[in-house]
Amino acid sequence: MSTRWNRSIQQLAVGSLLAAAIVQPLHALAEKAPVEQTSVQSADAPKEADAGSSNAFARMVPLRAAANVPKNFALGDPVWWFDFRNYRGGEIAKRQSTPLLVLQGDNDFQVTASNLDGWKSALSTRQDVVYKLYPKLNHGFVEFDQPSTGKEYALPGNVPSYVIDDIAGWLTGKN
């Protein structure tokens, strides 16, 4: 039954979509993250929560084991972060046999637009990849007119219809 299931899924799959996806290992991204921008806090969060988060992402770089996580680590389950330490998206995507759609916001401070160039380089031998860069979109694919710092994540927002249209067009072969 599992073989039949796998064949059915493969027949249905038209491709993969990557949105604000990192092409290099997570620690390389953390090394480039500006420390002053790694603090994301909602407007109603207690002020003491910020003390543990301002350097939390950047402090992941030198850690070698989840057991050594700093006190007040503010980025969720550290095991999840350690699982992604050696993730190399470009290497994984090279081995895929389905078409790819790679979307990136140009106003994303977490996964910057330079990542799109990394995807283009990693997948340069593939002819079935479509790349889209959206000028005002932040990491959450929400338009923001100022440089993104993450503080705008607490504001209500939606993925713009033109992104949904691009995805729908790609899925139906119109893009």
Q: What is the pLDDT of residues 149-167, one digit of tens each?
A: 999 999 999 999 999 999 9
As a whole number of angstroms, the distance between CA 24 and CA 91 comes to: 9
In this predicted structure, what is the pLDDT of residue 32? Answer: 62
Reduced to 3 states (helix: H, G, I; strand: E, B; else coil), residue 101 is: strand
What letter would DSSP give residue 46? -
Find out whether 151 and 138 touch, Cβ atoms under 8 Å.
no
Find out whether 150 and 110 touch, Cβ atoms under 8 Å.
yes
As a whole number of angstroms, the distance between CA 153 and CA 155 comes to: 5
**Residue 1 domain-assigned (yes or no):** no
Which DSSP helix (H) or strand (E) runs through 72? Answer: none
**Residue 83 domain-assigned (yes or no):** yes
**Residue 4 domain-assigned (yes or no):** no
As a whole number of angstroms, the distance between CA 124 and CA 70 comes to: 39
Confidence of residue 37 (pLDDT cuts 50, 70, 90): very low
Please give the tally of structural domains in the chain: 1
**Residue 84 domain-assigned (yes or no):** yes
Residue 125: name the closest of 168, 93, 88, 162 by CA: 93
Span 43-73, pLDDT tens digits? 443 343 333 444 445 555 455 566 677 777 6
Reduced to 3 states (helix: H, G, I; strand: E, B; else coil), residue 111 is: coil
Higher pLDDT pick, 87 / 144: 144
Range(s) of the domain holding residue 119: 13-171
